[in-house]
Amino acid sequence: ADGGVGVGVGDGEPRREDVFHHSGGLVEYLHKMCEGKTSLHPAAQTPASSGKNKTTDTPPDTPSPTSDVLFLSGSRDGVGVEVALGWYADQYRENLIGYVNGIKTKDGGTHIDGVKTSLTKVINNFIKKNPQLAKRGGSTGGVAETLGGDFIREGLTCIVSVKVPNPEFEGQTKNRLGNPEIRTLVDAMMVEYLTTVFEWQPKLLQNIVEKAASAKAAAEAARAARDLVRRKSTLLQTTVLPGKLADCSNQSPEESEIFIVEGDSAAGSAKQGRDRRTQAILPLRGKILNIAKVAMENKIYQNKELQALIAALGLGVMVNGQQQSPRQASGDGEGDDDVQFDKSTLRYHRIIIMTDADVDGAHIRLLLLTFFYRYQRSLIQDGFVYIACPPLYKVNHPPLPGMAAAAANRPPQPQKKKGGGGKKGPTESYAWTQEELIDVLEKIRRLQNRPAPVTTQGEGDDDVAAYLEGLSGVNVQRFKGLGEMMALELWDTTMNPDSRLLKKVTVDDALQADRLVGVLMGDNVVQRKDFISQNAQQLAIEDLDY
């Protein structure tokens, strides 16, 4: 946010020094955020190479745009303003970030509002002056149609940094700039800059209008799909899905949790083993729709599995990229558009993804995380989404007194006694990784006074076989899926709040996560292939089992 500023940190003996320096400032920042995305900007030429071609020359007295970034830098009335912005074809949401005196304003403020109003004003002014521009963008009416700000900002990534002598912050957390004069100032500077840029780069303006018109058409199609759902089904107004959702009896979201499982086999064990008071089960059939490849919302509401998921959780429907609660979606709420999803309608405060520990399970888990991240990101940001971690191995062994009850860094392991084992010790142990399995076998080996095994370096399966050799009455079972586990086993190891292991899904760096989701789950095959090639050597296959 402060281009050209360098920070050096030194410590230790011998002295080690690190220097943090980003000379590119906001432009470099925006490039980092949008790495791998497809820009709507036509390639900009320098004045030296472009001659007198008005469509690509750098505007006079205006900061030069790069190939995919517009950059404004200036000051007025003692306030410094820097804005970097770009539009991207494979981005379907706006992403605006603001800084005031180098401090990030998470809730935006008047500097962000100034950018928004200027964009809507300038682009609609061009549309009114040039009706053909609107027709090329998809308008079929006789009169040029204006475009809403939400549509114009679809695909926009923008960073705004202002230097304000006397900033005023609003809100309980003081994360929003409140100076009204900053909105007017930023708006005026951006109107002047954008007007000049679009006069000199009409192709860029046309690309933006076409994307905005496409967003408007998609919103209208999605609205029609939502209306169809409301007319033909009570899906968005009910909380019970017969044959799909096995709901819990507790009506308090704070005390309730839902397990999302793959298929009827896993659902059968989960339904039998659950605590019916607080635990609901929702089975999904196969892999859900990959919404990273979906630009139109109506496809989401036409997908039965996503319909069931949205209704079961109480997520509501999207309107122009925003969520409506089920009450608002059914027409009982106030307002029609741009109503943010109300978290009070969320039916469970722990949404637990419980899939098999194999490649297919990992794929389904990633599809679900992509859906939550793109459809309702606040579910992850507010800590409602978890991943269940079922054990990979069960070890049957003779009763062994002194057998440790838990592996390092684990909750107490559920261990059963068979045949009235009394004080002799447990006869079943569980392991979540191959390393923990070897640790369990090593403890059994020591308790049985067996000689140390001969192991090999780096061959995990051979090591397990070596540890098993010579052990008496020991059998290892590898769980290939949740359906192989008995209901009581699934409860003891994965669903019991006192003994289970859950991973809370967090988004420490939402921008980086969004980029990775786009690469891994988007429709750019070449980009995904390059990513896999670059990272294949770092992949540990055993990590897919955890």
Residue numbers of the chain with a pLDDT score lower than 50:
44-58, 60, 63, 140-143, 232-240, 242, 319-340, 404-411, 417-423, 456-460, 509-510, 546
* pLDDT at residue 468, rounded to an integer: 78
* pLDDT at residue 532, rounded to an integer: 83
* pLDDT at residue 421, rounded to an integer: 43
Task: Centre a 10 Å sphere on the Cβ of residue 84 and count the other Cβ atoms it contains.
Answer: 27
pLDDT digits (tens, 9 = 90+) for 271-301: 999 999 999 999 988 778 877 777 666 677 7
Apex 503 CA angle, 501 and 504, nearest 5: 135
In order, the DSSP letters of 391-418 are: -SEEEE----TT--S--TTSPPPP----
By CB atoms closer than 10 A (0-12, 13-18, 19+), residue 517 is middle
* pLDDT at residue 354, rounded to an integer: 93
* pLDDT at residue 66, rounded to an integer: 54
Smallest CA-to-CA distance from 384 within 340, 341, 344, 348 is with: 348
* pLDDT at residue 118, rounded to an integer: 96
* pLDDT at residue 137, rounded to an integer: 53
* pLDDT at residue 317, rounded to an integer: 58
* pLDDT at residue 405, rounded to an integer: 44
* pLDDT at residue 184, rounded to an integer: 96
Smallest CA-to-CA distance from 399 within 372, 382, 424, 419 is with: 424
Q: Which domains does the chain carry?
A: 30-218 (3.30.230.10), 233-389+503-545 (3.40.50.670), 393-478 (no CATH)
* pLDDT at residue 64, rounded to an integer: 53
Question: What are the tokens at 205?
Answer: 């303006």
Q: For 411-423, b where at least 16 C-beta lie within 10 A, e where not — what string?
A: eebbbeeeeeeee
* pLDDT at residue 86, rounded to an integer: 94
Helices (H) and strands (E) in the chain, counts: 18, 19
Task: Dump strand ranges (E) for 243-312.
Answer: 257-262, 279-284
